[in-house]
Amino acid sequence: MRLRALVVAVALLCSAAASRAERWAWVDGRGVAHVAARPLDGRYRPVLGPHHAPTGRVTGKADAAAGLLTWLEIAPQVRVMRPWLREAARMYGVDVELLTALIAVESGFDAGAVSPRGAMGLMQLTLESAGRYAGATNVQRPLDELLLEPRANIHIGARMLADLLRRFGRVDLALAAWNAGEGTVRRNGGAMPPIAETRGHVQLVLELYWAMLQRSQRVTRIQLAVAPMTP
């Protein structure tokens, strides 16, 4: 097992006391996934969490495209972001699977998403938090415009997440700081805050991250079995 997978497994065990987070989804005729924390109408089906059965499918997808993981592999709006995700992962030392999981939970890969609180773009960055990490990217450009550009948003968010990982040293705490703020985590003694929304958010991202790591490992093993890599 790779070290990063082991870190996620430990983080999941640490958050086991949290209430089980869940995600419900359906896919419309255009191939757009609609993801929510609860079923908003009869079209939604569970894709992550305690109600999700291993054989469950995202409503609207064919038999070969079961679940949110498969949607993340084939959805056009996800595929178009992959080069920028890989680029940001290399530049800032963050797993591409973690960036993908965070975007899936935060915005459902809707580059134009704006929350009622003013969080913008793929990773739902606020002007206040993004301003600390925009750096030279923000030269002569209003930050609110920049955050609606997918590549810029991904880079700013990846830089922010990398910084939180360095500061807190654990994936679960970095995600908690992302969701609730660094100050909230520090005021709780550097431990997971007792906030249901934050704990649910962290567990959901970790579950999806872990699932993608497992799937990528499985693909790697198949590829190695067919064409062994030379040392």
Q: In terms of Cα–Cα distance, which of 19, 24, 104, 20 is closest to 56?
A: 24
Question: What is the tens place of the pLDDT at every residue in 91-148?
Answer: 999 999 999 999 998 998 999 999 888 999 999 999 988 888 987 555 567 888 889 9
Question: What is the tens place of the pLDDT at every residue in 195-211?
Answer: 988 988 898 888 888 88
Note the pLDDT of residue 34: 65
In the chain, where does DSSP find H-type helix? 3-14, 67-74, 76-79, 82-92, 96-106, 127-131, 143-146, 150-168, 171-180, 182-187, 196-226
* 50, part of any domain: no
Number of domains forming the structure of the chain? 1
* 53, part of any domain: no
Note the pLDDT of residue 109: 92
What domain range includes position 85?
A: 3-18+76-226
* 25, part of any domain: no
Distance CA 42, CA 59 (A): 10
Q: Are 4 and 198 in contact (CB under 8 A)?
A: no
* 36, part of any domain: no
pLDDT value at 51 more than 60: no
Distance CA 193, CA 48 (A): 22
**pTM exceeds cut of 0.75:** no
Residue with tokens 């987070």: 21
| The three-state (H, E, C) secondary structure of 85-135, written as one string | HHHHHHHHCCCHHHHHHHHHHHCCCCCCCECCCCCECCCCECHHHHHCCCH
- CA distances in angstroms from 113 to 55, 58, 81, 123, listed in the order given: 30, 21, 15, 9
Q: Give me the residues paired with residue 34 across strands.
A: 26
Distance CA 87, CA 208 (A): 21
Percent of the chain with pLDDT over 90: 40
Catalytic center residues: 106
Q: Are 209 and 178 in contact (CB under 8 A)?
A: no
Residue range 185-193: mean pLDDT, rounded: 95
* 109, part of any domain: yes
Question: What is the tens place of the pLDDT at every residue in 52-100?
Answer: 443 333 333 333 224 678 888 888 999 999 999 999 999 999 999 999 9
Residue 86's CATH number:
1.10.530.10
Q: Are 195 and 188 in contact (CB under 8 A)?
A: no
Note the pLDDT of residue 227: 40
Question: What is the tens place of the pLDDT at every residue in 138-180?
Answer: 556 788 888 999 999 999 999 999 999 999 999 999 999 999 9
Note the pLDDT of residue 136: 56
* 100, part of any domain: yes
Note the pLDDT of residue 61: 31
pLDDT value at 12 more than 90: no
